[in-house]
Amino acid sequence: MARARLTVLLAVVFLLGGWLGRQGSRVTADPAPASPDESYEYTLLFSRVMQLVRQDYFDPSKVGYKELTYAALKGMLSSLDPHSQFLDEEAFADLQRETQGGPFSGLGIVVGEKNESTVIVSPMENSPAGRAGLLPGDRILRINGKTTEHLALGTVGDMLKGKIGEQATLTILRPSSNGPSSDQVFDVTLTREIIELHSVKDPHLLAADVAGQDKVGYLRIEEFGQNTPEEFNRALDGLEKQGIEALVIDLRNNPGGLVDAAVEVAGQFMPPGTVIVSLKGRSPDQDQSFRAKEGRERPNYPVAILINGYSASAAEIVAGAFKDLNRAVLVGETTFGKGSVQTVQSLGNSIGMRLTTARYFTPSGKSIHEIGVTPTLVVPITNEEERRIILAEAKRSLTPEEKAEAAKADDRQLTRAVSALRAVRAFRLKH
């Protein structure tokens, strides 16, 4: 009987492997060559281990075929790099809602990996994480007492997820600008809730005490989702109706998102047909260039883009294109350096996988992977300064202590960007 079950399982594994190969052929090159004997040997090994676990493991509630297969797929994909991930039904649905701009349940935290640690790339505005005062760069040491050390990002993401109303206690290490001896370690308990995603925030004309007599528009893009181009167009149309003469696009702490959305936003400021970003995959036939589309091109007013160490992925595509094509001045700090592209593939039955399939390159052919995009004007700020800026921009009630901190906010990066824009305008008017 055991031999019969093993034979059936082997057949299922071979069929699954062939089906996945056909699905993956749309975006990946031919797999590494393997002899039939090698393929059979390791498929047999996988099947044998699964069968032994099902037969001998002491807790029968944990050895269902689905549970063991999902666990194996999670381990397989997470072993490749920090960004490849198997997506079970809940994770796949969450990802679809997030990229489509729909609401989802969570803590409002986007995580990344930096220096082999799990860091908060962006706490979403008006989310449990944002209201608790968590900051970009905070390291997550533990989740409900379980360490995140050596865990894949996908696993950490799964630990952060949960149902509405469930709580999670995070142990946070907050680096200090004064060195490791001044780092803070503290616990914060957050309650999961529905997170509403609106990626384009706070479009307005900057006040005269910042911009002087110039009409300088400002908007912030929190991430690049399916609805970002539409939201961006609506916000920028409103600013242009107010007669803006220059524009600041704030991409600080933007964790990225969809390549298409980033290309559509950047493409509005470039001549049609201009290459915004190039992707290079495993084989030459996977290489692809994304270009600015035909359509309405924005007026040629000066643009400044604010970036920092937590501007990542699609945000770096936009920053890199504007810099390489001399369409904007970049102000702030070198970006995160995530230059790999993940393709999301449906595997049927409401599950999927996120797989690293390419790296992207700026219009001049530069890779920013693990390097980042350097600003035109380097303006570093301390962790304390950043916290004050975030508090000053917060759309929530502040405690008396937070109000006192917010009152000290001095956004030197924004001030420097406006100064650069005013200088460009003055130069143009004279010439």
Instruction: Round to whole Å and give the CA distance between 273 and 271.
Output: 6
Does 83 or 171 have the greater pLDDT score?
Answer: 171
Band (pLDDT 50/70/90 cuts) for residue 13 is very low
- Looking at domain 103-195, its CATH class is mainly beta
Q: What pLDDT sits at residue 33?
A: 65
Give me the half-sphere count of Cα atoms (radius 13 Å) on the Cβ side of residue 160. Answer: 29
**Is residue 341 pLDDT above 80, yes or no?**
yes
pLDDT of residue 30: 55
3-state secondary structure (DSSP) of residue 237? helix
Active-site choice (47, 278, 313, 340): 313
- 267 CB neighbour count, 10 Å cutoff: 24
SS (H, E, C) 292-352: CCCCCCCCCCCEEEEECCCCCCHHHHHHHHHHHCCCCEEEECCCCCCCEEEEEEEEECCEE
pLDDT beyond 90 at 22: no
Average pLDDT, the chain: 87
The model scores a pTM over 0.85: no
For the chain, domain boundaries:
2-63, 103-195, 200-430
What is the band of 101 on the pLDDT scale with cuts at 50, 70, 90? low
Q: What is the pLDDT of residues 55-100, one digit of tens each?
A: 999 999 999 999 999 999 999 999 998 889 999 998 898 788 777 7
SS3 241: helix
Contact indicator for 361, 303 with CB cutoff of 8 Å: no
Annotated catalytic residue within 74, 338, 340, 411: 338
Whether 324 is catalytic is: yes
Query: Is residue 138 annotated as part of the catalytic site, yes or no?
Result: no
Q: Which residues of 150-186 are buried (b: 16+ CB within 10 A; e: fewer)?
A: ebbbbbbbbbbbbeeeeebebbbbbbeeeeeeeeeee
What is the dihedral sign for C-alpha 321, 322, 324, 330? negative
Residue from 94, 158, 214, 324 carrying the catalytic annotation: 324
DSSP string for residues in 27-48: TS-PPPP--HHHHHHHHHHHHH
Give the residue carrying structure tokens 């084989």: 283
Edge-first strand order for the sheet with 200-205 is 200-205, 216-221, 246-250, 303-307, 329-332, 377-378
Instruction: Say whether domain 200-430 belongs to CATH 3.90.226.10.
Output: yes
The pLDDT tens digits for 186-241 are 999 999 998 877 899 999 999 999 999 999 999 999 999 989 999 999 999 999 99
Query: 322 burial class (0-12, 13-18, 19+ CB within 10 angstroms)?
Result: buried
Known catalytic residue: 313? yes
CA torsion angle 91 94 99 103 (round to 10): -170
